[in-house]
């Protein structure tokens, strides 16, 4: 018999960039939060400020192995999300997406928990449709250097929808577009952190390609709000739903904006585009607007200001 009315919520990958912000928000919402992480790309520094909270618990665990606990909601964020990290051990990356999904779905089935899958815009690959809508099936290389992540996440979505159809599991699938903010890893190879760290160190800013490729950047607080609204939605709202900022910028525009905000004398250096790097990425968020009444609130320069301040402090420690 349950004594507390608090929801028991588990966040896999909870010590990562997104996971730590989600754990923090869930605690503020009055939940008991279990953070599960194997610390492959996450770090205890991201959640150390939560360790004294009696409603927060940390467990070192790899989701490729089953987990036997009692839970009400599961946010499955476990998987390295930057090319530097997921290409370091591509086999383990695929295992984390696929076996992790199987294990978390099995746990949700046993406990009758709601479960949210943090999927990715990478399921669209190098898209031939622009902007990307949820009904677009994608243009993905299944045997390239990014495939461990792209196809692993696509397979995880397949598993989620098969569990929904076969077992009527309460699933939620969100496709995350480029997200940035405090607690990003300074060496994760993502464009926002790369540019900020290089500018703060006075190094030349490295642009891969000619800088004309586009991305859409969502501040982390907006993304977490989207997660919570999706989890709170009705049973028939399964997704997939794009969560991201539809305002599109070229990589060169981003570099010039960051350089202007940081100051300094850094130059822009062009290098060859990596294999299978998408030329454009922009979410159509019509479904999120209509279904979740969600859209991003934080403008790029406002979010960059907070992110630059975070990295400035990190680099002086």
Q: What are phi and psi for residue 156, nearest 5 degrees?
A: -60, -40
86 is catalytic: no
Terminal-to-terminal C-alpha distance of the chain: 48
Contact 314, 185 (CB under 8 A): no
- Catalytically annotated residue among 149, 163, 180, 219: 149
Which residues are known to be catalytic?
149
């Amino acid at each position: 018999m349950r004594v507390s009315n608090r929801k028991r919520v588990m966040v896999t990958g909870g010590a990562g960039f997104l996971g730590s912000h989600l754990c923090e928000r869930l605690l503020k919402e009055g939940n008991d939060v279990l953070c599960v992480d194997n610390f492959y790309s996450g770090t205890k520094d991201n959640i150390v400020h939560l360790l004294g909270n009696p409603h927060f618990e940390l467990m070192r665990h790899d989701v490729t192995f089953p987990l036997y606990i009692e839970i009400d909601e599961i946010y499955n964020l476990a998987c390295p999300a930057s090319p530097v990290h997921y290409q370091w051990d591509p086999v383990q990356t695929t295992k984390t997406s696929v076996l992790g999904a199987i294990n978390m779905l099995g746990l949700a089935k046993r406990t009758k928990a709601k479960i949210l899958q943090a999927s990715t815009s990478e399921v669209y690959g190098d898209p031939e449709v622009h902007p990307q809508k949820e009904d677009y099936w994608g243009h993905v290389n299944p045997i390239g250097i990014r495939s461990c992540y792209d196809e692993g996440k696509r397979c995880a979505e397949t598993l989620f929808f098969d569990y929904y159809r076969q077992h009527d599991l309460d699933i939620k699938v969100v496709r995350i577009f480029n997200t940035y903010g405090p607690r990003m890893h300074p060496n994760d190879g993502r464009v926002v952190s790369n540019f900020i760290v290089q500018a703060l160190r006075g190094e030349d800013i490295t642009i891969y390609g000619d800088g004309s490729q586009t991305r859409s950047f969502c501040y982390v607080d907006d993304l977490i709000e989207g997660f919570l609204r999706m989890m709170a939605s009705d049973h028939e709202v399964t997704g997939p739903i794009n969560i991201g900022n539809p305002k599109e910028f070229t990589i060169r525009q981003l570099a010039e904006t960051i350089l202007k905000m940081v100051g300094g004398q850094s130059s822009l250096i062009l290098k060859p585009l990596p294999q299978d790097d998408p030329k454009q990425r922009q979410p159509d968020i019509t479904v999120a607007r209509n279904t979740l009444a969600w859209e991003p609130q934080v403008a790029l320069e406002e979010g960059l200001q907070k992110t630059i301040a975070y990295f400035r402090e990190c680099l002086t420690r």
